[in-house]
Amino acid sequence: MRVVIAGGHGKIALILEKLLSERGDSIAGLIRNPAQAADLAEAGAEAIVLDLETASVQELAGHLTGADAVVFAAGAGPGSGADRKASVDRDAAVLLADAAEAAGVGRYLLVSAMGDHLRADPTTFDEGFGAYLRAKAGAEDAVRARSAFRATIVRPGLLGNEPGTGRVDLGERTGTGPIPRADVATVLLALLDEPRLDGRTVEVIGGDTPIVDAVTALAAR
């Protein structure tokens, strides 16, 4: 499998890259800062230096040729303003979708955010988090509307950096809860292996079910 990850230096992405490379898959990560390339190499991934806020569809598509799947795991970060959340969390996800279509990539996994943000009252959240949810909602809408590929949208709970447990609660609705980033990466790996969940939106938090079992059970519904 050839997989290209947008946001290739993110914490979830680096774990996923290592998991993919350890089992022999071909993996590349899109990064803006060339100084991060060494970390990707350590994880077993090829580094592609490209700024998703300024790149063209054609430029990005050239790097996706031959890929079986793309994963959007980029983010502007908690200290960013509303404009940058829109340009990264929404617009870069849409750019990746446009480029994936142009390059003939058949699968797209979008790491989104939990919550009924498509209907969210912006006054419910502080300005920064509200802007983040609106950006993720826009990305979901744009990616879900594609006909050239079927996107899987993954909405994790509250992310933590503790070691993964290998066990989750996975479903169309799970309720809120924490989950280690390592477990989110392992869920993404399992979803790449389970095309029956292409086109679905799933939520995931920490739980009691082994990840592969959880993904297989949901795919059978």
Residues taking part in catalysis? 132
Is residue 155 within 8 Å of residue 113, measured between CB atoms?
A: yes
Say how many Å lie between the first and final Cα of the chain, rounded.
26
What 73-77 contacts at long range (C-beta under 8 Å, 24+ apart), as own/partner pairs, is: 73/5, 73/6, 73/7, 73/8, 73/10, 73/12, 73/13, 73/16, 73/111, 73/188, 74/6, 74/7, 74/10, 74/30, 75/7, 75/10, 76/132, 76/135
The whole-angstrom separation of Cα 92 and Cα 113 is 15
DSSP 19-52: HHHHTT-EEEEEES-GGGHHHHHHHT-EEEE--T
